[in-house]
Amino acid sequence: MELREQFTSKIHKNIIRFFHENPASVDTPRGIATWINQDLRKVKSALEKLTKAGILIAHKSTSTTGYSYTRNKKIISQIDRLLKKKV
């Protein structure tokens, strides 16, 4: 249920789609905001929520945080179904 909730927000959905299509990507909030063409502040907030939901993994350092896609096959498979459904 929690996973579906992430799809109700356009920014969340776009971020999830970006990582689902580019699973090897590790990028900063600014980079991701560029790829999905959304406001940086909103993207930052969305990234934190998606990390808490277990969809993304945060790699923190002193200067920045990089985000990468989950490796949980169950979550990835659910996301794949949800993305195809929405399309």
Partner 1 sequence: MKIDKEKIYDKELFDRLKNSLDLKNEQGIMSSYFKEPIWWVAPGFDKKLPISEAEIIKRCRQMKDYTPLTRSACMKTLLNAFRKAKKSKQVELFKCISGLHGFIYPVVQGNKIYGYIAMCHAEKEIPLQTIGMFIGFVNALVKEIQKELELSKLYQTLRPRAIALSTVHTVHRLISSTLNLDELLPRIARLSLHVVRANRCSIKLVDKAKKVLLPKTTVDLRKKKVRLKKVKVGRHAPGRAFKKSKSIRGKDYLAMPLIDEDVIGVITLYDKVDGKPFDHFDQEIMRTLAEQAVIAIRNAQLYKEQEKLTIGSIKSLATILEARSPGIITPRGSFVRIVLEMGREFKLKMYELKSLQYATLLHDAGEIIVPNEILTKPSKLTGKEFRLVKEHPLRGVKIIKPLKALKGASPVILYHHEKYDGTGYPKGLKGNQIPIGARIMAVVAAFEAMIAKRPYRAKKSIEDAAEEIKRNSGTQFDPKVVDVFLKVIKRKHIRSLLKKEGYGT
- Enumerate binding residues for partner 1 (CB under 8 A): 22-28, 31, 35, 57, 59, 61-64, 66, 68-69, 71
Q: Which is nearer to partner 1, 5 or 80 (CB)?
A: 80
49-53 LR contacts (CB < 8 Å, sep 24+): 49/6, 49/12, 50/6, 50/12, 50/15, 50/16, 53/2, 53/3, 53/6
Q: Which is nearer to partner 1, 5 or 34 (CB)?
A: 34
CB of 56 to partner 1, least distance (A): 11
